[in-house]
Structure 1
Amino acid sequence: MTIIQNAIDINKPVAEVYRFLADLNNHEALMPDNIYNWSSTEDEARFTIKNMTKLALRISQRVENKELVCVPAEEAPFAITLRWKLDAQSENVTNAAFVIEAELNMMMKMMASGPLQKLVDHQVSKLKEVLG
């Protein structure tokens, strides 16, 4: 199991950060430029990663103000789980951690680890930018 993660503190209450992340329609704002053909509902998102693959993700678990888990909604190139973990640091500060867990063989790990880490880093910084 390959685990790729990053975390950031956001100056917003945990309920506000959770509300934003719990709706996959909002996740388009967190995506890098190499994501296109985005379509989403509150519970599912479909998109294409330039020069790579198409993905369909769905929310498989919501734990209010704590955690949000996304898994592939269709066949994916490898088993993957995307997890947002939230922790209230204070009344107005939330730590948001984005964790990708992927079943990668050695070859896939060499090819995918860098882009996945860039995706995680990009999404946590965009979350802070979008939510202020």
Structure 2
Amino acid sequence: MTIIQNNTAIHKPIAAVYAFLSDLNNHEQLMPDNIYNWTSTVDEARFTIKNMAKLALKISDRVENKEIVCIPSEEAPFAITLRWKLEEQGAEVTNATFVIEAELNMMMKMMASGPLQKLVDHQVNRLKEILG
């Protein structure tokens, strides 16, 4: 299991951060430029990663003000779980951690680890930009 993660402090109450992340329609704002053909609902998102693959994700688990878990809703190139974990750091500060867990063989790990880390870093930074 390959685990890739990053976190940031958001100056918003945990309920506001959870409300934003629990709606996959909002996740398009977190994506880098190499994502296109985005379509989404509250619970599912479909998109294409330029020069890589098409992905369809769905929220498999929501724990209010704590965690949102996404898994592929269709066949993916490898088993993957995307997880946002939230922790209250005070009334107006939330620690948000984005974790990607992927089943990668050695060759896939060499090819995908860098782009997946860039994706995690980009999404965490965009969340901080959007929500403060």
Q: Which TM-score bucket, shorter chain as reference? A: over 0.9
Equivalent pairs counted in the alignment come to 132
2:114 matched residue in structure 1: 114
Aligned counterparts, 1:45-64, within 5 A: 45-64=45-64
Q: How much is the aligned-residue C-alpha RMSD, in angstroms? A: 0.2
Q: Residue 27 of structure 1 aligns to a residue in which SS?
A: helix
2: CA distance, partners of 1:110 / 1:23: 32
Aligned counterparts, 1:1-132, within 5 A: 1-132=1-132
Percent same amino acid at aligned positions? 80
TM-superposed deviation, 1:26: 0.2
1: CA distance, partners of 2:90 / 2:116: 30
| TM-score between the two structures when normalised by the length of structure 2 | 1.00
Per-residue Cα deviation, 1:21-50 (whole angstroms, up to 9, x for no partner):
000000000000000000000000000000
| TM-score between the two structures when normalised by the length of structure 1 | 1.00
Per-residue Cα deviation, 1:49-105 (whole angstroms, up to 9, x for no partner):
000000000000000000000000000000000000000000000000000000000
- Structure 2 unmatched ranges of 5 or more: none
